[in-house]
Amino acid sequence: MSHSTDLLTKPSTIALVGNPNTGKSTIFNALTGLRQKIANYPGITVERKMGTTIINGILHKVIDLPGAYSLNHKKADERITYETLIGSYDHEETPDLLLMVVDASNLDRNLFLASQVMDLQIPMMMILTMNDVASDRGIDVNSTRLSEQLGIPVISLNAREKDTSGRIKKALTQFGVAVPKTFLWNPTEPLREAIDSIDQQWLSPFTDLPERARPIEALRLLAEGSLDEVYYTYQEESLGRKLILELQDQLEERGENPMAAEVIQRYHFIGEATHGIVEQESREERTWTDRLDAVFTHRVAGPILFLLVLLVMFQSIFSWATPFMDMIDLLFVELGMYVGDLLPQGLLNSLIVDGVIAGLGGVVIFLPQIIFLFLFIYFLEGTGYMARAAFVMDGFMTKVGLHGRSVVPLMSGFACAIPGIMATRTIENWRDRLITIMILPFMACSARLPVYAVMIAAFIPDHRILGIFTLQGVVFFGLYLFGIVMAIGSAAVMKRIFPTGKPTPFLMELPPYKWPNWSSTIIQSFERGKIFVTEAGKIIVAISIVLWFLASFPKYEATSDQVSEVQETRTELSESTIQLNQSYAGRFGQWIEPAIEPLGFDWKIGIGLLTSFAAREVMVGTLNTIYSIEETEDQMGLIERLRTEIDPETGLPKYNLATALSLMIFFAIAMQCMSTLAIVKRETNTWKWPLTMFAYMTVLAYVMAWITYELSSKYLLI
Amino acid sequence: MTLSEAIPTTTYRVIKIDGKDLVRIMEMGITPHSELQVIRKAPLGYPIEIKIRGYLLSLRKEECEAIEVELI
């Protein structure tokens, strides 16, 4: 074989290709370390992982292509891998050389993709991973002989290896890369003729595909039978379509199934190529994976253990993240005060302190939860447990129209929707993922707690029920349950509405259990934090400034008239109360009052609905400002004030049980959180979905709150 | 018989794959003549876990119904 090391003497683009669960990400993290950047590919939700690495003093680009089982693309991420490799994808560089990552413990299926990639004639080196898992199962792959068989350099990596990156770089300089021979798998005569016909009669004259990509594209078209999933430019469409169908018929006449021929022949080749290279000791003893699976996927023990894992996970996130969140909160308050004192009083001061610093604080406060949740997720994913959890839960989740992998993101939503929405990335199927994102904010997040707490304390009587429960506790629990019911109901509706697209079969691999790679777990978790701050953070700070503007303008100038008027009416309104009431936010509250009156809300709550868009718990602070109440830990001042508020027209209490229930139902459903919308924009890569989410949740919240208000005013004794 | 009638811990030989997703199923290594073992079923009966070509894969009802197998 003609090995070349020349490519590495000038800056080049190295792409990592392989099946999912092969340790590809671990290799990418080892090669690039913190010199990596994750962003979305334009227009779709697949992430582009790019980084750099230095080999012999030369800086090379490294792309971690999305994991794929085949080049015959069925999913968006596989399509990107395919299009990048054939050089027809505009948003990714065509790689100069490939690192083909292959799981040694699962050689057949991994070599299937490898044999397809080898037909593309890109210089490559093969990296065998998971050799320890393989040898546990009595499998020993002879990498030297595999290299001879395939005609490309092959190296073996071990999970216990300290310096993965050094090992790969050394191998690259020593052995270089080689261009594999095409059609090593030796397709049958009829298939080969069909490939040549498509190539010569259509692909070559009427498309702009590079020559090396044509045979593999011809195979894909033969299996596909149509031009529906073609993304390069072409002419003579009808000719192409006709040709494909004709050739399919010809193949069938000659005894080949056009859809299956390629797959069968490649697997046949793999069987022959690995014969004598893979030593398989027959071992009767059960592997660790078998033993652990007997427990973790057990019909009864499996779901129970999964709930326990979730419980430990959320308890830890809660107790670990809270001190950091308190610290961040304090830090930004202190910073605001410090900067506020430093700058001269005035507009700029207010903009920086109440707009920018408060907005930034509102972004950074999410980081502890995001990073801790992802540490758990990447850890569990790395051990192989996440696939088991999905396996155990899938039966239950498909009943409500979701996926087994929806459980962890949905449960994370109880802490905060933002890390939960980011965690939906583990759901492969786009439709399942989208539905999970769209219903996730119904999970009662911790920001709703302060609002629920104030309303319940003020208006729900503290009766005992059945001796052990209190009515307040039952209402509290009811609100959580209500969120879950809304989520399930919406999922069922969306399952019917959303375009099914091309259904992808549910074929989920259960990778062998292994000890996760720590540095990779940590790097990836911090990357998630970085993505949130840089991508969602921009939107959050911008909206914060808009909200600041609405509450600060027009400026209240106390004229002596107004001051005396205020003093005369003996209302104890502070200056900040008057400022808020006559600001654009205050006017907004008054403007929407007629619209929210049927829900039992007045303009003061209307202001709160606007300001709480920054974060739900801001509602409580806003009400405190409106009523000029000193904010306290137990909110007793506010609770007392809400109870005694009198409607000037009727002389009756302004707020009652019906208002409280209506407001809580509204808060349980409404999309009152700009940070959630910002992260939905990032994760779906379009404004379409966050806007849809906002619209449907607001309408739903309005209708449900209205029904609640009507029913409870009529039928509940107040 | 199809894989949906198969019983855990029994080994079967694949005869053929039907349906529109046959390419996807075969690419995962479930090709005619290959052998697979049904390992277990999930709590509500589906998905099922199988061992094929030395690795573990889970399949939902629809995929199981598309895979024709015979007892070895």
Of A69, A70, A395, the CB nearest to B42: A395
Please tell me the distance in Å from A135's CA to the nearest CA on chain B: 13
**CA gap A190, A252 in Å, rounded:** 10
d(CA A113, CA A623): 60
Tokens of A143: 């990498």
* Chains A–B, number of C-beta pairs less than 8 Å apart: 119
Q: Which of B23, B25, B36, B49 to mutate to test the interface with A (most CBs of A within 10 A)?
A: B23
Taking contacts as CB-CB distances below 8 angstroms, the residues of chain A near B43 are 299-300, 302-303, 392, 395-396
Higher pLDDT, A133 or B13: B13
Least confident range from A119-128, A181-190, A619-628, B17-26: namely A619-628
For the residues A670-694, what does the mean pLDDT come to?
91
State the pLDDT at residue A608: 83
**What residue has token string 């054939």?**
A86
Q: Report whether pLDDT(A131) > 70.
A: yes
Look at A394 and B46 and tell me if their CB atoms are within 8 Å.
Answer: yes
A399 touches chain B (CB under 8 A): yes
The confidence band for A562, taking pLDDT boundaries of 50, 70 and 90, is low
Quick check: B24 and A106 CB within 8 A? no
Provide ipTM, 2 decimals: 0.95
CB–CB contact B58 A391 (8 Å): yes
* Both structure tokens of A592: 């929407």
Least confident of A190-204, A426-440, A535-549, A699-713: A535-549
How confident is the model at residue B22, as a pLDDT?
A: 86
B53/A259 touch (CB, cutoff 8 Å), yes or no? no
We find that the CATH architecture of domain A6-175 is 3-Layer(aba) Sandwich (3.40)
Average pLDDT over residues A583-605: 85
Q: Would you call A508 and B58 a contact, using CB atoms and an 8 Å cutoff?
A: yes
Q: What is the pLDDT of residue A585?
A: 83
Residues 6+ away with beta carbon under 8 Å from A487: A410, A439, A440, A442, A443
Nearest CA to A511 out of A71, A165, A160, A67 is that of: A67
Whether the per-residue pLDDT at A477 is higher than 90: the answer is: no
Q: What is the DSSP string of A604-662?
A: HHHHHHHHTTS-TTHHHHHHHHHTT----TT-HHHHHHHHH-B-TTT-SBSS-HHHHHH
Range with lowest mean pLDDT among A242-256, A271-285, A413-427: A271-285
Chain B residues within 8 A of A264 when measuring between CB atoms: 26, 31-32
Would the pLDDT of A573 be above 70?
Answer: no
Query: What are the helix and strand counts (H, E) for chain B?
Result: 2, 5
Average pLDDT over residues A479-506: 81
pLDDT one-digit tens code per residue, A597-620:
888 888 888 888 888 887 787 777
Chain B residue with minimum CA distance to A300: B43
Q: How far does B56 lie from chain A, in Å, by closest CA?
A: 5
Predicted confidence band at A569 (pLDDT cuts at 50, 70, 90)? Answer: very low
Mutate which of A221, A297, A300, A306 to disrupt the B interface (most B C-beta within 10 Å)? A297
Task: Answer whether residue A330 shows pLDDT above 80.
Answer: yes
Check residues A280 and A461 and name the one with the higher pLDDT: A461
**Cβ of residue A279 closer than 8 Å to a chain B Cβ:** no
* Averaged pLDDT of chain B: 92
Q: Would the pLDDT of A2 be above 70?
A: no
With an 8 Å Cβ cutoff, is A299 touching chain B?
yes
- Over range A584-588, report the average pLDDT: 84
pLDDT digits (tens, 9 = 90+) for A57-70: 999 999 999 889 99
**ω into residue A95 within 30 of 0, thus cis?**
no
pLDDT of residue A506: 76
Q: What percent of chain A has pLDDT over 70?
A: 93
> Cα dist. A282→A136, A139, A142, A575 in Å?
12, 9, 17, 83
Supply the pLDDT for residue A501.
Answer: 56
| Residue A59 pLDDT | 94
pLDDT digits (tens, 9 = 90+) for A624-636: 777 766 666 667 7
Instruction: State the span(s) of chain A assigned CATH 1.10.287.
Output: 189-259
Contacts of B56 in chain A (CB under 8 A): 289, 293, 509-512
Q: Judge contact between A34 and A76, C-beta under 8 A.
A: no
The architecture of the domain spanning A189-259 is: Orthogonal Bundle (1.10)
Nearest to B57 among A297, A404, A510 (CB): A510
Specify the number of domains making up chain B: 1
Q: What is the pLDDT of residues A345-372, one digit of tens each?
A: 878 888 888 888 888 887 888 888 888 8
Q: Name the residue among B55, B57, B51 with its Cα closest to residue B11.
A: B51
| Subunit contact A398:B41, Cβ cutoff 8 A | no
pLDDT of res. B68:
95
Higher-confidence residue of A231 and A21: namely: A21
Q: What are the pLDDT digits (tens) for B19-71?
A: 877 888 999 999 999 999 999 999 888 899 999 998 999 999 889 999 999 99
Give me the pLDDT at residue A277, please.
Answer: 83
Q: Choose, out of A287, A293, A506, A514, the residue to mutate when testing the contact with B (most B CBs < 10 Å).
A: A506
- pLDDT above 70: residue A592: yes
Query: Mean of the pLDDT values across residues A288-309?
Result: 89
For residue B57, the chain A residues in CB contact (below 8 A) are 507-510
Residue A289 — very low, low, confident or very high, per pLDDT cuts 50/70/90? confident
Looking at CA atoms only, how far is residue A128 from chain B in angstroms? 16
Q: Best residue in B56, B57, B64, B67 to probe A by mutation, most A CBs within 10 Å?
A: B56
Q: Residue A335 has what pLDDT?
A: 92
Let me know: does B26 contact A487? Beta carbons within 8 Å.
Answer: no
Report the residue of A300, A507, A513 to disrupt the B interface, i.e. the one with the largest count of B CBs within 10 Å.
A507
Confidence check: pLDDT of A570 > 50: no
Say if the Cβ atoms of A112 and B29 lie within 8 Å: yes
Nearest to A505 among B24, B34, B41 (CB): B24
CATH of the domain at B50: 2.30.30.90
pLDDT of amino acid A329? 86
Q: For residue B33, what is the nearest residue in chain A, using CA coordinates?
A: A264
The percentage of chain A sitting over the pLDDT mark of 90, rounded to a whole number, equals 30
pLDDT beyond 80 at A542: yes
Mean per-residue pLDDT of chain A: 85
Task: Please give the full DSSP string across A252-307, using - where no structure is assigned.
Answer: HHTT--TTTHHHHHHHHHHHHHTTTTEEE----SPPHHHHHHHHHT-TTHHHHHHH
